[in-house]
Amino acid sequence: MEPVSKKASESLVMMTELVLPNDTNVFGNLMGGRLMYWMDIAAALAAQKHANAPVVTASVDNISFEAPILLGNAVYIEAKVSRAFTTSMEVHLHVWGEDLKRQHKYKSNEAYYTFVALNAAGAPSPVPRLTPQLEEEQKLYEGAMRRRQLRLVLGGKMKPDEALELKALFFNGAETTQF
């Protein structure tokens, strides 16, 4: 039987890659698509660890690149489940690059991926709840419902009036009839 709740730390995945010539564009920078591919793998592993079941990617939030990762640099991807819902999980990712010659580590980007757990028949399957332990985990957990509602509204799966967490952000608890 699945545990009722799991710690965020139990889903932690650290992935390391080396940027090789085939991974770069004409400027010698890691291609964004290659990084997103690696991020999807790390996030899927974290979600699968939490769900103890196969998972599929449901959505990827905005990925903004703060700093390029160059040819010959290392890439570090940290992925951890930030909140679990009924059958879906939000995974938070941090990405760093490191110039190995200079031993200089720098932030490249961060993002949120959403995964759905599947049962043997390929249908969505319930996942354990998540229990945040650290202060950062608690902040990510608390913001996850707003991020989820925003994803659902933008994807046309939720009406704006139903997004109560988002409404509370904009209207500060005031009664409204329309979003």
What is the domain count for the chain?
1
Is residue 151 included in any domain, yes or no? no
Neighbours of 110 (CB within 10 A): 16
Whole-number Å distance between alpha carbons of 112 and 116: 14
Is residue 163 included in any domain, yes or no? no
Q: Which two tokens stand for residue 110?
A: 């961060």
Is residue 31 included in any domain, yes or no? yes
Beta-ladder partners of 55: 117
Is residue 160 included in any domain, yes or no? no
Is residue 164 included in any domain, yes or no? no
Is residue 88 included in any domain, yes or no? yes
What CATH number is associated with residue 108? Answer: 3.10.129.10
- On whether the CB atoms of residues 80 and 12 are closer than 8 A, the answer is yes
**Burial environment of residue 101 by CB neighbours within 10 A (0 to 12, 13 to 18, 19 or more):** exposed
Q: Which two tokens stand for residue 53?
A: 């079941």
Under the banding of pLDDT at 50, 70 and 90, the label for residue 9 is very high
Is residue 63 included in any domain, yes or no? yes
Is residue 119 included in any domain, yes or no? yes
Under the banding of pLDDT at 50, 70 and 90, the label for residue 179 is very low
| pLDDT, position 125 | 97
- Which is higher by pLDDT, 151 or 40? 40
Kindly list the strands in the beta sheet with 88-99, ordered across the sheet, starting from the edge strand earlier in the chain.
13-18, 74-84, 88-99, 104-117, 55-60
Domain extent for 35 = 5-131
Residue 92 carries which side chain, given as an amino acid letter?
H
Residue 114 Cα to chain centre, angstroms: 6
pTM of the predicted model, to two decimals?
Answer: 0.87
